[in-house]
Amino acid sequence: MTIEIKTATLEPIRHTFEHTRRRFGDKPASRYQEASYDIAPEHNFHYRPLWQPDKLLNDTSRTALVMEDWYAFRDPRQYYYGTYVQARAKLQEVTESNYSFFDKRGLAERMPEEIREQIIRCLVPLRHLELAANMNNVMCCAYGTSTVVTQAFLYNGMDRLGVAQYLSRIGLLLDGNSGEALATAKDHWMTDPAWQGLRRYVENTLTLEDWGEVFIAQDVVLDTLVYDLIYRQFDAVITEQGGSDLAMLIEFMQEWHKDNSRWVDATLKSLAAESDHNREVLGGWIAAWREKAVADLSPLGEVAVGDEAVAASIEALDKRLAKAGL
Amino acid sequence: MTARKLNLKDKYRLLTRDLEWEYSYRDYEEIFKQESFEGIKITDWSKWEDPFRLTMDAYWKYQAEKEKKLYAIFDAFAQNNGQQNVADARYVNAIKLFLTGVSPLEYQAYNGFAHVGRQFGGVGARVACQMQSLDELRHVQTQIHAMSHYNKHFDGFQDFSHMHDRVWYLSVPKSFFDDARSAGPFEFMVAIGFSFEYVLTNLLFVPFMSGAAYNGDMATVTFGFSAQSDEARHMTLGLEIIKFMLEQHEDNVPIVQRWINKWLWRGYRVLTLVAMMMDYMLPNKVMSWQESFEVYFEEAASALFKDLARYGIKMPDYAATAIAEKEHLSHQAWSIFYNYGHAAAFHTWLPTEEEMDWLSEKYPNTFDKYYRPRYEQWRRMEEAGERYYNPTLPMLCQTCQIPMGFTDMDDPTLVSYRQSEYDGDRYNFCSDGCKDIFDFEPEKYVQSWLPVHQIYQGHCGGAEMEDVLGGYYRINLGTDNLDYKGSPDEARWNDWHGLETAEEKLKKAS
């Protein structure tokens, strides 16, 4: 038996907005579709930006990549604002309970001193790198084309700020909130030879003007390598040396990276599938930034994991690129 | 080891502000290319006071809770066909105006705050702007979702985004935001963060939401409540950026003053649409435009400018003009739309006898003297079967892009009219405010995409009005627009409620 409540049904005069009907047909559209497709201004801009007079306000030429239809992308996670914050809130809840467990049990004190130092040297400085990732993704959001593309960049950008803040909290958990670990980690970031290549790489990305290139340099090349090196390989090394409690502090980064990679892969694939032109442009950027990243990451790889570490991360990157047809 | 307790400010400093480092491989100017071209001098970003110290984990948590509640209401609204419970179907035209005219501005704000959220050299200011960008994305998306159900039962919502880029009166809000976004990052913050979000928000966002509350629109008002705490954050950011600029360097003061003059006037002109919405489009009135202008502009703004006086900032001169216009603005605006009811994407109508009495009471100095006779004349024409539609195209103000229909306030029978010459061409303006804005940056405002010029130049689908309205604007003539009386919206509404139109009653009686 089921119970059946009678409600008045009113025949709708249309099933969705015109912009979603034109794209997906006259049927109820999903909330992701109604809030993501064809809602960005595209025509009749009134004034040229004082800060870039050779372009229009929303100008597709802010990247060398070309798309027939900039809405050809689809976020496999179908994040619009509501689904995005709810997904992150879930992840945040788990993370919060991990951090408070770590704190309550005084697990920082149980960590061998050299492990703590190693974390402060090799992990905590990434908070600065994450700030650059925040700026880079917000840049792609600000100058990219179409909401399906730009909203995901903003989510990514804000996520990176969140990661930077969690990394800072790891520092504070290790130094009893004195801020010393953060200061030491910043010293490493500024002067430690293990980090200088990476810092140079990052500062270089912050001066780029083509948002497509930023996407490649940051989200594709650097993130793939760094997340593999630190959150997989370094995590394993630390666990082996008796620091397995670190795992609960970086679970957020691992889960987030998995989630974000689904979108990065889909975006890369759509860009590459579009044309030979795009594949050529992407290929050029990838070659250039991959080479730099390998050189710049190697010193950290050696310090954090060992000689072979970066080679293993490159494998992860190449696999990823091959999947996208690059 | 017992952990030290961190207060909120220290914690925010360590978690956010301290993420910044001093660049050594590249120059600061290469990374923040837009920070100095406007002439604003920033000597020390570390003096930035964070207007709200929200970390991302807390942001996700609070916002997710708000979204969950909001969407539960949207679902219930749709399931129960809540659109039947609004005060009257004429009300729905107010939110058509909102979705076509205001929601796309939320989108532009999302773009604009992402832009400044990358360009500012201080991490505190950047992050606050980024959060606002994300909030603005929330607002445009939740507004689309709030109105998605109305779109299934009323005409005029269906192509809001397409229309915003093209339709003549929507170029008023569109050009306003284009203007702000094409300015430098600091001017954008004065335009949107301060003038729009701090000074004018109670005259824009709030009247629409209160209108929803008074008229049984559960979906829109729930969105309004849900956005309230976001808006409060945006207001504190708007005020902080002004104070920060003024405190950084005395040379900033005259620049900021000029921007405040410009943007309060520019914003006030956009509010014309709100004025007519409040006085004419709400079946259940919240308060008159004049009343809300007095509370939210005259009182609130004078308190604010008293506070800013210590920096050497004063109330813009044009405030006097805005004050003088408060008894006329909504009537003149609704008259324009009644005139061009065939070219709008919503319905227009004449106020009922009761509504005219309300207007007389609220506007004792002006309504009976200037506007009631006009409406009575139009009513006589309508009763004679000759509902008035103006077949000509109006001249537009080069700056605000509103048809030149505003009158001289000393003599409300004379159209106010200003001119400037630039590079051998003549340009027309509705007011001193708009003329001054042009005269200071003519090379910017000669670029205005003026809808009427564009139609005459053949850029809008063709020479016939049908080509423009139906083809280029994608307005369904006679369905989305013309008078509310006789519209499909009215017919459906009457059908839901078992009501008869005046015409049907007449038929039956004979």
ipTM: 0.97
For residue A151, give the chain B residue with the closest CA. Answer: B137
Q: How far is A323 from chain B (nearest CA, A)?
A: 31
In a mutational test of the A interface, the residue from B28, B96, B102, B137 whose CB has the highest number of chain A CBs within 10 Å is B137
pLDDT of B507 reads: 73
Q: Which of helix, strand or coil describes residue A11? A: coil
For residue A128, give the chain B residue with the closest CA. Answer: B19
Nearest beta carbon to residue A13 from set B31, B118, B153: B153
CB contact B494 to A (< 8 Å): no
Which CATH code, of 3.30.1360.20, 1.10.10.10, 1.10.3430.10, 1.10.620.20, is assigned to B8-44+55-77+85-393+478-509?
1.10.620.20
Residue environment code for B4-33, b if the CB has 16+ CB neighbours within 10 A, otherwise e: eebeeeebbbbbbbbbbbebeeeeeeebbe
pLDDT of B387 reads: 94
Q: Which chain B residues are Cβ-neighbours of A199 within 8 angstroms?
A: 24-25
Query: Which helix (DSSP H) or strand (DSSP E) does residue B420 occupy?
Result: strand B418-422
Query: Which helix (DSSP H) or strand (DSSP E) does residue B418 occupy?
Result: strand B418-422
For residue A187, give the chain B residue with the closest CA. Answer: B21
Nearest beta carbon to residue B164 from set A41, A92, A96: A41
For residue A152, give the chain B residue with the closest CA. Answer: B134
Provide Rg for chain B, Cα atoms.
24
CB contact A280 to B (< 8 Å): no
Q: How far is B376 from chain A (nearest CA, A)?
A: 35
Q: Which chain B residues are Cβ-neighbours of A15 within 8 angstroms?
A: 152
For residue B69, give both structure tokens. Answer: 């509640």
Across the range A129-143, mean pLDDT stands at 98
CB contact B392 to A (< 8 Å): no
Which of B60, B67, B9, B50 minimizes the C-alpha distance to B233?
A: B50
Contact predicate A79/A260, CB 8 Å: no
CB contact B55 to A (< 8 Å): yes
Contact B31 A203 (CB under 8 A): yes
Provide Rg for chain A, Cα atoms.
22
pLDDT of B464 reads: 87
Q: Which chain B residues are Cβ-neighbours of A44 within 8 angstroms?
A: 165-166, 171, 174, 449, 454
What's the CA gap between B241 and B191, in Å, rounded? 11
CB contact B175 to A (< 8 Å): yes
Q: Which chain B residues are Cβ-neighbours of A8 within 8 angstroms?
A: 81
Q: How far is B339 from chain A (nearest CA, A)?
A: 25
pLDDT of B405 reads: 84
A25-53, pLDDT tens digit by residue?
A: 999 999 999 999 999 999 999 999 999 99
pLDDT of A282 reads: 98
Which of A110, A8, A159, A81 minimizes the C-alpha distance to B223?
A: A81
Q: How far is B153 from chain A (nearest CA, A)?
A: 5
Q: Is A72 exposed, middle or buried (0-12, 13-18, 19+ CB in 10 A)?
A: middle
What's the CA gap between A46 and B181, in Å, rounded? 10
Contact B166 A44 (CB under 8 A): yes
Domain boundaries, chain B: 8-44+55-77+85-393+478-509
pLDDT of B1 reads: 54
What's the CA gap between A281 and B165, in Å, rounded? 32
Q: Which chain B residues are Cβ-neighbours of A182 within 8 angstroms?
A: 14, 18
Contact predicate B218/B204, CB 8 Å: no
What's the CA gap between B228 and B218, in Å, rounded? 15
pLDDT of B483 reads: 95
CB contact B383 to A (< 8 Å): no
What's the CA gap between B302 and B308, in Å, rounded? 10
pLDDT tens, chain B, 510 aa long: 567 889 999 999 999 999 999 999 999 999 999 999 999 999 999 999 999 999 999 999 999 999 999 999 999 999 999 999 999 999 999 999 999 999 999 999 999 999 999 999 999 999 999 999 999 999 999 999 999 999 999 999 999 999 999 999 999 999 999 999 999 999 999 999 999 999 898 898 889 999 999 999 999 999 999 999 999 999 999 999 999 999 999 999 999 999 999 999 999 999 999 999 999 999 999 999 999 999 999 999 999 999 999 999 999 989 999 999 999 999 999 999 999 999 999 999 999 999 999 999 999 999 999 999 999 999 999 999 999 999 888 899 999 999 998 888 878 788 889 999 999 999 999 999 999 999 999 999 999 999 999 999 999 999 888 899 999 999 999 999 999 999 999 999 999 998 876 667 667 766
The sign one gets for the Cα dihedral B315, B316, B318, B322 is negative
> What count of other Cβ atoms lies within 10 Å of the Cβ of residue B394?
17
Q: How far is A215 from chain B (nearest CA, A)?
A: 15
The sign one gets for the Cα dihedral B288, B291, B294, B295 is negative
CA separation (Å) from A154 to A142, A260, B118, B132? 8, 12, 11, 11
Contact A206 B145 (CB under 8 A): no
For residue B51, give both structure tokens. Answer: 């207007």
Contact predicate B143/B99, CB 8 Å: yes
What's the CA gap between B19 and A129, in Å, rounded? 9
Which of A194, A187, A192 minimizes the C-alpha distance to A298?
A: A194
Task: Show the domains of chain A with their CATH numbers.
Answer: 81-247+258-323 (1.10.620.20)
Q: Which chain A residues are Cβ-neighbours of B447 within 8 angstroms?
A: 46-48
In chain A, residues 67-106 whose CB comes closer than 8 Å to chain B: 80-82, 85-86, 88-89, 92-93, 95-96, 103, 106
The sign one gets for the Cα dihedral A18, A63, A280, A293 is negative
CB contact B144 to A (< 8 Å): yes
Chain-centroid distance, C-alpha B227: 16
For residue A88, give both structure tokens. Answer: 């992150």
pLDDT of B220 reads: 95
Contact A138 B117 (CB under 8 A): yes
Which of B367, B410, B144 minimizes the C-alpha distance to A18?
A: B144
User: What SS3 string covers chain A?
Assistant: CCCCCCCCCCCCCCCCCHHHHHHHCCCCCCHHHHHHCCCCCCCCCCCCCCCCCCCCCCCHHHCCCCCCCCCCCCCCCCCCHHHHHHHHHHHHHHHHHHHHHHHHCCHHHHCCHHHHHHHHHHCCCHHHHHHHHHHHHHHHHHHCCCHHHHHHHHHHHHHHHHHHHHHHHHHHHHCCCCCHHHHHHHHHHHHCHHHHHHHHHHHHHCCCCCHHHHHHHHHHHHHHHHHHHHHHHHHHHHHHCCCCCHHHHHHHHHHHHHHHHHHHHHHHHHHHHHCHHHHHHHHHHHHHHHHHHHHHHHHHHHHHCCCCHHHHHHHHHHHHHHHCCC
Q: How far is B238 from chain A (nearest CA, A)?
A: 20
CB contact A144 to B (< 8 Å): no
Q: Which chain B residues are Cβ-neighbours of A58 within 8 angstroms?
A: 111
Contact predicate A131/A266, CB 8 Å: no
CB contact A184 to B (< 8 Å): no
For residue B355, give both structure tokens. Answer: 């509504």
The dihedral formed by the CA atoms of A313, A315, A252 and A86, expressed in degrees to the nearest 10: 140
Nearest beta carbon to residue B60 from set A13, A92, A131: A92
